[in-house]
Amino acid sequence: MSDGRRDSSPHRDGPAGAALAGPPGAVSGPAGGDGQAAARVSGALLALGAVAWAVGTVVVGEKIQEGVQTLDTITGMMFVVGVWAFVRHVLADRASGVRAGRFIPMVLLVTLLGAFLLNALSFGYATHDDFPLWLMIMDAFWPLSMFGMLVLGVAIAVTARYQGMMRWLPLAAGLWFPVTMAAQILAGGTASTLVSAAWLTGTYAVIGVRLMRG
């Protein structure tokens, strides 16, 4: 395909040197057409979720410090759904590797589910301090998921299953959490929110659009 997500030559991995890549842009597996449709759906979910959460965080702004905000919670769930769909696509495409690399997206699918459930179960609580202990523990799924996205981005870049921008965009997306935290420390909450929104749109949303284009 035109954005060069795949190399046209076969990729070889494993002790027997089995060829892994199919036609350019095809999802690994027996159903290439179905895989393309699934990739486009994943891309749409990711692009929509990233933009929705970016807008939601800007609209909510500093009110997030006051407690649980419905808009931020709902759009955050949309973002997690999109990221989950992308990670599932990476796993199906074997883009993080075929051996140990496959465990990265597998673990991420679990932590992202935990992050989604945290948001879903936070409705009805005014502040995070009101969370019961078990829900406070679940709060760890969010940073764990974002750290996992950074690890996944490194794996995708090293494996080089995707080519061009799609090789490096997941790594840039995985830097969202540390970049946002750095902005928070160096420039404060408002600047951090704006940096976060811009980073989400410029990385995750762009990945989604490129998947939609096939």
What tokens appear for 123 in the block?
A: 């409705």
Q: What is the pLDDT at residue 2?
A: 38
Domain that holds residue 192: 31-213
Rounded Cα gap, residues 119 and 72, in angstroms: 9
Q: What is the pLDDT at residue 18?
A: 34
Closest CA to 87 of 112, 62, 56, 119: 112
Q: How far is CA 197 from CA 31, 66, 120, in A?
A: 36, 20, 22
Q: Which helix (H) or strand (E) holds 36?
A: helix 32-60
194 within domain boundaries: yes
20 within domain boundaries: no
24 within domain boundaries: no
Number of domains in the chain: 1
**Residues with pLDDT less than 70, the chain:** 1-33
Q: What is the pLDDT at residue 65?
A: 85
Q: Which helix (H) or strand (E) holds 139?
A: none
Q: What is the pLDDT at residue 1?
A: 38
What tokens appear for 190 in the block?
A: 């408002």
6 within domain boundaries: no
151 within domain boundaries: yes
17 within domain boundaries: no
Is 3 in contact with 210 (CB distance < 8 Å)?
A: yes
Q: From the CA atom positions of the chain, what is the Rg in Å?
A: 18
Is 18 in contact with 28 (CB distance < 8 Å)?
A: no
146 within domain boundaries: yes
Q: What is the pLDDT at residue 33?
A: 67
Q: How far is CA 4 from CA 88, 93, 161, 163, 175, in A?
A: 20, 15, 10, 5, 22
* Dihedral over alpha carbons 56, 62, 63, 65 (to 10 degrees): 120
167 within domain boundaries: yes
